Structure 1
């Protein structure tokens, strides 16, 4: 498992999260902890652009 976390830290992926506000902060902190860059873009105008530049979706 540690080699996977190290791989995430090295690549620093941009993760587009579509989640509710109840768990948004918890999710972001978890992703920061492993070295990812979370984005919580919910506006309809942002979704297409975020989907095209994100390394992953959650």
Structure 2
């Protein structure tokens, strides 16, 4: 009698594992992206992407 509810609980937990792992991956990815985006960029740093609204002479 106890085996069926216990089996249901185990199945539920195992089904939740990939969902929780995916959410954790998305959370840490967004956290890393926001940390990188918040890093200060030096004025002469050319590794930063050019502002697409700037005139072409300013991009180079």
> TM-score, normalised to structure 1's length?
0.25
Quick check: which has more Rg, 1 or 2? 2
The structure with the largest helix share of the pair is 2
Query: Which structure features the higher share of strand residues?
Result: 1
